Structure 1
Amino acid sequence: MSRRRLIQAGMVLPPAVMATQAAQASAGPERLREATRPLAALTFLDAEGRERTVADFAGQGLVLNLWATWCPPCVAEMPSLERLAAALAAEKVAVLPLSSDRGGQAVVETFYRRVGLTGLGVWMDPRGAAARALGARGLPTTVIVDRSGQERARLEGDAAWDRPDMIAAVRRLVGPFPASERTDRI
């Protein structure tokens, strides 16, 4: 069985994943390439196979993560993306991990179960259309989108998304959460 198949089957934790996890500890907001520009039109699929667009998330901040289950750096950063999603959910910031796995929903759900991810939705880009529209040069690539739908920053490679300084950077880049929508007011 090939190394890639072993990794996909969850039978091996490759040394590259362990090295990536160690390197993530220092991967912070200094690696974000900030630039405000219109977001390319892109479509992707939800867990039910329905076509979705960024317009479906109007008014929310977005963290679009392009990844695959066979990509060791992608696998390494998924738990930190889940913690980022939990930290920012109440502020209407959605983390959308767009899987490029050709096996679709079944492959992603199997991976989530195997590694214990329960707080991320299943989002798919099996033909790479969103990755092409965004001009991604590789996986993982993460694009931060502000509440008005503008791309504000991107990061190529994995990162420790749950670091306090990364969470603060995402908050700053997506823009303030409207006071009119806060539920913690007295």
Structure 2
Amino acid sequence: MRLIVPLLVSLVLPLASGCDRQKAPEPQASAEAESGKGLDRSHKGEAAPVVKFKDPDGGEFNLADFKGKPVLVNLWASWCAPCINELPTLQQLEQAHANEGRLGIIAVSQDTAPQGSVEAFLGERDIGRFAAYHDERMELSSALNVQILPTTILYDAQGKEVWRYVGDLDWTGEEATKLLAELNGAPTT
């Protein structure tokens, strides 16, 4: 029994903050991110990768399609519990910004299953088309060196990374509001 409890803790603890895509995550920019969750500014200014993935209709899409407009990109998977918990708040954020048109919000599934199964998964949870983007080869997460899902990345209108948030976040909460305010020239922390 003494051996089982530490073993269980070592297996469950990493799941508490995100879904580890690979065994050894790269170092992050903040102490919170080093623990597997939090704000990471270490990629600030990097250009969005030119990687093709599927849009909700199955056509080819890439982040350059948002040229001239900031975009919030969420990488998620149906097997990732923190991703699933986060999606409804991301959907609320997307709906709040839909009429403004100043910020694009997409969630790109990193599931290797066919796009139809991802759409069915989202339909069962009444999650909108903003989350039906699909990268079954996980090329986007590879190009971005994303190790933990969910990871959400904010790109400015020039396609340059502003920050990334590693792990799940309540996108309707105060922390998310402060982070998104950086698009309007608010001071960064």
Same fold? TM cut 0.5: yes
> 1:84–1:167: 8 Å Cα contact kept in structure 2?
no
Q: Give the TM-score normalised by the residue count of structure 1.
A: 0.72
Deviations 1:80-132 (A, max 9, x none): 11011112221421111110112232122212221122362410010000111
Alpha-carbon distance between aligned partners in 1 of 2:181 and 2:95, rounded to the nearest angstrom: 13
The 4+ residue runs of structure 1 with deviation greater than 6 A are none
The residue number in structure 1 matching 2:55 is: 46
What's the offset of the Cα at 1:78?
Answer: 0.3
2:138 matched to which residue of 1? 128
Indicate the residue corresponding to 2:24 in structure 1: none
CA contact (8 A) 1:44 1:125 kept: yes
Alignment of 1:7-156 (within 5 A): 31-34=38-41, 35-89=44-98, 90-118=100-128, 120-156=130-166
Amino acid in structure 1 at the alignment position of 2:89: S
Q: What is the distance in 2 between the residues matched to 1:117 and 1:50? A: 20
Residue 171 and residue 82 in structure 1: after superposition, are their counterparts in 2 closer, same or farther (change >3 A)? same
Mapped to 1, the partners of 2:140 and 2:69 lie a distance apart of 19
Shift in Å, 1:146: 0.7
2:7 alignment partner in structure 1 = none
Determine if the alignment matches structure 1 residue 162 to structure 2 residue 172: yes
Q: What RMSD in Å do the two structures reach over aligned CA positions? A: 2.5
Q: Unpaired runs of 5+ in structure 2?
A: 1-12, 18-31
| Equivalenced residues, count | 151
Gaps of 5+ in 1: 1-15, 21-26, 177-186
User: Retained in 1: the 8 A contact 2:94–2:105?
Assistant: yes
Report percent identity of matched pairs: 30
Which residue identity is paired with 1:66? L
Instruction: Report the AA paired with residue 94 of structure 1.
Output: G
